[in-house]
Amino acid sequence: MGGSPADWVRFEKFLPARALSLPRNPSSPEQCAISIADQIELAGARKFALGGYSMGGRLALFTAIELFARGIPPSRLILVSAGLGLSSEEEQKERRHLDAEWASLAENDPAAFWQRWYEQPLFASYRAMPSEIRADWENSRNPMDIGRLSEQLRNLGPGNHESLFPLLEGLLEKGLRVLYIVGELDKKYLELSRKVGEMGGAKVESIPGAGHILPLEAPEVLASKIRAFLI
């Protein structure tokens, strides 16, 4: 959310990859998946792994389903610090309301939005990083079109779809190899990783000393774990 292909620059020093852009004016995660699948199909890819971080992980899962439907499935799916949706309609409604508040703040005061966004407990390890690294990460977000950011918040958040556990289970049943990676300090997603591990079939890895933003906090270790999974 709010990122760009530039978020993967540090990671790509250790494992070459192609970072994809999200479409403008996304109406839903499913519509985003169609756009991402179009990019992959247009590139003529036939043997490839697909991965995503945070919101991008959820979108990668939707995209994998779309690619299976097109007959060009990925050979691997890598979910990095990725949520898997909310189980009840009440939780989904509450999250849509919260994301709408975030979107309104972004539209009215972008600087205040980014400051408050990274003050959330989820980003505690990020706030402990050197100020120059944090400055580069946050400065890369400042030029983003606020209308585009608010659309992502309103239309692509986990309140806009049901739990993804059944969809993930379906991909595993199709034989797709899945890696779920989480930072050891990312308590929320560490607990989620345990639930993924209990499903059976998915490989789960944690990175010591790292929190939620793994492409920034631990790019070399993240790359090494993905490289080992791809062999």
Reported as a pLDDT band with limits 50, 70 and 90, residue 145 is confident
pLDDT score of 89 more than 90: yes
CB burial readout 148-185, b (16+ within 10 A) else e:
ebbbbbbbbbbbbbebbeebbeebbeeebbbbbbbbeb
| pLDDT the model gives residue 50 | 97
User: What's the CATH number where 196 sits?
Assistant: 3.40.50.1820
Tally of domains within the chain: 1
- What digits encode the pLDDT tens for the residues 46-66? 899 999 999 999 999 999 999
Reply yes or no on whether the pLDDT at 74 is more than 90. yes
Model pTM? 0.95
Q: Alpha helix locations (H) across the chain? A: 9-12, 29-42, 55-70, 89-108, 110-117, 124-127, 131-139, 146-155, 165-173, 187-199, 214-217, 219-230
Structural domain that includes position 159: 5-230
Mean pLDDT of 11-29: 92
Residue 4 has a pLDDT of 87
**Is pLDDT above 90 for 224?**
yes
Contact by Cβ (8 Å): 165, 84: yes
For the cut 90, the answer to whether the pLDDT of residue 212 exceeds it is: yes
